Amino acid sequence: MKVIDSHTEGEPTRVIMEGGPDLGSGPLSERLKRFQSDFDAVRSFAVNEPRGYDALVGALLCEPHDPSCAAGVIFFNNGGYLGMCGHGTIGLAVTLHHMGRIGLGLHRFDTPVGIVSVNLLSAHEVQIENVASYRTREKITVDVKGLGPVTGDVAYGGNWFFLVQNSPFALDMKNINALTHAAQAVSDALAEHGITGTAGEPVDHIEFFGPPVAADAHSRNYVLCSGGAYDRSPCGTGTSAKLACLAADGAWPPEQDWVQESIIGSRFIARYRLDAQGAVIASIRGRAFIVSEANLYRNPLDPLADGLR
């Protein structure tokens, strides 16, 4: 399997260029189901130890179903599959440019949850326009083991998030373990209370917010991803969900930059517009850099041939 690794504001992406599973044709949503049901061992092989690590997000490059798109992509991680991935889309655009497959300017990528617009501004900087984001539940409180009552919003930005405005711990790297345990406890409480997305999907991303460190930023976040690792970037789908909440509250106007810091201090510059139906369409701008090209090998005699699951 031939892969190219990059990082987007600190968060890694591994693009499978060759050697991935043949998922056939059809909409990306159907091919994701085929990937999950028939080829899940390939997902584990590509991102889990000993070839990968918990923070790594995989991106299977596919032929798009929509002929207007430059590429199709299915995102996944150590825990399963993602509808969309903001940092991964930025990383994919930089990777395809690195390979000479796309030039600077506007492109469209086909994903399982819809088409994402991509503006490759330079070899390393990308602005994406996400699928529609929205909030479904506001200021709901759950009793969380070890934390007590925790209040947050349920929102969608390509994945499902529970957004907590006041982080239970200071958003500092020294608190990573405490933040991770707290976020996992919140995730467990949501599952116990039956709090889901609109079609029963697990709310599998937890996002804590606090004040920024940089004077020109608006917020700092910690995001626990669905596989149990924290996002090193400010999280593109999580920032989209945040903008949906701000828009619903009338707390931030359209077409104005919102600077979102990550737990490591990297940043996305985000804004939103309202489409003809009034839906929040978020755009996220960030940087990605290629870090390696590699061949991954599978030996059937290896007891961990399909990765440490």
Q: Which CATH number is 222's domain given?
A: 3.10.310.10
Percent of the chain topping pLDDT 90: 100
99 and 170, same structural domain? Answer: no
140 and 18, same structural domain? Answer: no
Mean pLDDT of all residues in the chain? Answer: 98
Please compute the mean of the pLDDT values over residues 63-75 and round it to a whole number: 98
Please compute the mean of the pLDDT values over residues 111-127 and round it to a whole number: 98
122 and 15, same structural domain? Answer: yes
Using the structure block, give the residue that is written with the tokens 């599978």: 298
Q: What does R_g of the chain's alpha carbons equal in angstroms?
A: 18
105 and 18, same structural domain? Answer: yes
pLDDT recorded at residue 50:
97
pLDDT recorded at residue 42:
98
188 and 116, same structural domain? Answer: no
142 and 126, same structural domain? Answer: no
145 and 96, same structural domain? Answer: no
Active site residue ranges: 85, 235
* Pairing outcome for strands 114-120 and 105-111: antiparallel
Please compute the mean of the pLDDT values over residues 278-303 and round it to a whole number: 98
pLDDT recorded at residue 171:
98
117 and 165, same structural domain? Answer: no
Please compute the mean of the pLDDT values over residues 40-46 and round it to a whole number: 98
- Tell me: pLDDT of 309 over 90: no
Percent of the chain topping pLDDT 70: 100
In this structure, are residues 282 and 244 in contact, taking their beta carbons and an 8 Å threshold?
yes
157 and 119, same structural domain? Answer: no
- Tell me: pLDDT of 268 over 90: yes
Confidence of residue 197 (pLDDT cuts 50, 70, 90): very high
pLDDT recorded at residue 32:
98
Instruction: Please provide the DSSP assignment of 51-64 as one string.
Output: T--TT-EEEEEE--
Candidates 254, 252, 245; CA nearest to 283 is 254
Residue 213 lies in a domain: yes
Kindly compute the dihedral angle of the four CA atoms of residues 109, 241, 29, 202, in this order, to the nearest 10 degrees: 150
Structural domain count, the chain: 2
Q: How far apart are CA 199 and CA 33, in angstroms?
A: 16
Please compute the mean of the pLDDT values over residues 161-172 and round it to a whole number: 98
Q: Report residue 172 CA to chain centroid gap.
A: 21
Residue type (1 letter), 266: S
Structure tokens at 165: 């405005």
pLDDT recorded at residue 187:
98
- Tell me: pLDDT of 137 over 90: yes
Structure tokens at 78: 């150590």
Write the pLDDT tens digit of every residue in 272-288.
Answer: 999 999 999 999 999 99
170 and 121, same structural domain? Answer: no
SS3 call for 6: strand
Domain range for 107 is 2-131+290-295
- Tell me: pLDDT of 30 over 90: yes
What 8-state DSSP symbol labels residue 279? Answer: -
pLDDT recorded at residue 113:
98
211 and 105, same structural domain? Answer: no
pTM: 0.97
